[in-house]
Structure 1
């Protein structure tokens, strides 16, 4: 592993956290791509508001992904955030690519946001149990944003 900047954590914990961060990074990359897929293809009443909301939500997902990726590197690992890794490792259900109705996109996205939020809450607990409160706090920050955007998106149904 490359140099780490969280010296108080032992190697086993750092390795465990890097794996956990990359697992959640893959889910976040997959969710980001799902949000953009919806953003590009949705049609219907309320289009512009939902279209703009999804663009902002994708930006917030990228910010969360960036936090997780940088933390993996801080811990001495590598961020694994490529499309190929996300396609292989993400547990988020594949997003339908031939759909345009806003209501369907809202339901599809809401369910994926809820799933990713649940995975992040599991990661909060795992990081806390491992003694890495900084990583647990990072997951908490990202999960709050995910939950808020799930609520914003779901309010359109």
Structure 2
């Protein structure tokens, strides 16, 4: 993905993370931020539109999960600011940057939502793990640790979504 102006260190800070590590981390954080906001919106879409015999349980679960993702996006954005970056969570920025497969806004069946979300959470987890490695290799253990924390939240949510799909076939 091409780097954008918001991926550069732009703000003065006394944070002593090395400059090259800051630049790598800000770019990674902005990329993952777009992905997680996209996944949050997909989860919210599922929450609003879920239908079928699993309605109540899935409706509540999706609400919990989009809340968890929103909390994680805040942590990611704040870390970018700590490093002197400017996080881009605008609709336009997220739309241009996300690496998550577009969500079908016409889905209604609960298990179809679970399948679609499981695919997207797996994509998000993959991007998080790549970010863990790239920020660690760049020398920013704190950002790598944060991405590991977010990865655990996403993996747990993925596990719970996938549990609804087992035995579907």
Aligned pairs, number: 156
- 2:12 aligned residue: 3
- 2:20 aligned residue: 12
Shift of 1:20: 0.6
- 2:139 aligned residue: 131
- 1:30 aligned residue: 38
Shift of 1:10: 2.1
Q: How far apart are the structure 2 equivalents of 1:117 and 1:5?
A: 31
Q: Is the Cα–Cα contact under 8 Å of residues 17 and 72 in structure 1 kept in the other structure?
A: yes
Corresponding residue to 1:155 among 148, 153, 163: 163
Shift of 1:3: 2.1
- 2:6 aligned residue: none
Corresponding residue to 1:88 among 92, 96, 112: 96
- 2:7 aligned residue: none
- 1:113 aligned residue: 121
Deviations 1:86-127 (A, max 9, x none): 111001000001110011100000000001001000100111
1:98 has 2:106 as partner: yes
| Distance change (3 Å), C-alpha of 1:74 and 1:44 | same
1:70 has 2:78 as partner: yes
Q: How far apart are the structure 2 equivalents of 1:4 and 1:44?
A: 51
Task: Note the aligned Cα RMSD (angstroms).
Answer: 0.8
Deviations 1:55-106 (A, max 9, x none): 0100110111011100000000101111111111001000001110011100
Q: Is the Cα–Cα contact under 8 Å of residues 18 and 139 in structure 2 kept in the other structure?
A: no
Q: Is the Cα–Cα contact under 8 Å of residues 92 and 116 in structure 1 kept in the other structure?
A: yes
Query: Normalising to structure 2: TM-score of the pair?
Result: 0.90
Question: Structure 2: any 5+ residue segments left out of the alignment?
Answer: 1-9
Question: Structure 1: any 5+ residue segments left out of the alignment?
Answer: none
Query: Normalising to structure 1: TM-score of the pair?
Result: 0.97
- 1:45 aligned residue: 53
